Amino acid sequence: MSGLSGNRRRAGRQTAALAAFLLVQSLAAVFFISDALTDLIEGFITPHLIIEGLVAVALAAGLVFGTVALRRTIEQMNAQAAALQAARGALAEVIEAQFADWGLTPAERDVAMLALKGLDVAEIASLRSAAQGTVRAQLSRVYTKAGVTGRAQFAAHFVEDLLAEGVPGQ
């Protein structure tokens, strides 16, 4: 999960850089367009003005294209975030259903979920304000009900689901 949010951060930096570039482009466009307009008002149609006008038009067009491109990038990022959210929701549903299937008690479900998220016994105990021995006992009951030998196999059970069927829920 840290890899995915790292991806998002990187994408955020990329769009920020694109936006900064867009700003520089706008500065250039405003400068050139105002300059060309001023010459036009003063009424000198010269080759210089024509070229200046072309540059102004190109800059303005580039600005619009840059805007649209940046919009697309941002929308793509948002769509990815939404898909990730949906996948997370779907995975949570799969896990809940499996827990119910194994007949875990509410307390065991909580502990099992925290264990799946990568917390160790001490952390789970302090989160649930329970003794470490209690958590350890609950975890071993979870492993027994799930028919696995330990935490690695327990986590692998759900990863295997994901790998076999792809990400459900789209």
Partner 1 sequence: MTSGRETSGTTPPDLWDPVVRISHWGLAAVVLLNAVLTKGGSLIHVWIGWVGLTLLALRLVWGLFGPAEARFSAFPPNPRAAIGHLRDLVARRPRPYRSHNPAGALMVYLLWALLAVVIGTGVAMTGTTPLGAVERQVAIESADWSTLDLGESDREGRKALEEVHEVAANLILFLVFLHVAGVLVEGRLMRRNLVRPMLTGDRRDTSTRKGRPV
Q: Which residues bind partner 1 (CB under 8 A)?
A: 1-2, 5, 8-9, 12, 15-16, 18-20, 22-23, 26-27, 29-31, 34-35, 37-38, 41, 63-64, 67-68, 70-71, 74-75, 78, 81-82, 85-86, 88-90, 92-93, 117-119, 151-152, 155, 168-170
Q: Which is nearer to partner 1, 70 or 146 (CB)?
A: 70
Q: What is the gyration radius of the CA atoms in the chain, in angstroms?
A: 29
Evaluate whether 102 touches 157 at the Cβ level (below 8 Å).
no
Minimum CB distance to partner 1, residue 36 (Å): 9
The residue (of 27 and 50) whose beta carbon lies closer to partner 1 is: 27
Distance separating alpha carbons of residues 60 and 26, to the nearest angstrom: 8
CB of 128 to partner 1, least distance (A): 15
* AA letter at 13: R
The span from the CA of 154 to the CA of 68, in Å, is: 46
**Residues 6 or more apart whose Cβ sits within 8 Å of residue 142:** 102, 104, 108, 111, 112, 115, 154
Token duo for residue 52: 């200046």
Specify the residue, 70 or 107, whose C-beta has the smaller distance to partner 1. Answer: 70
Minimum CB separation of residue 85 from partner 1 in Å reads 5
Q: How far is the CB of 129 from partner 1 (least distance, A)?
A: 18
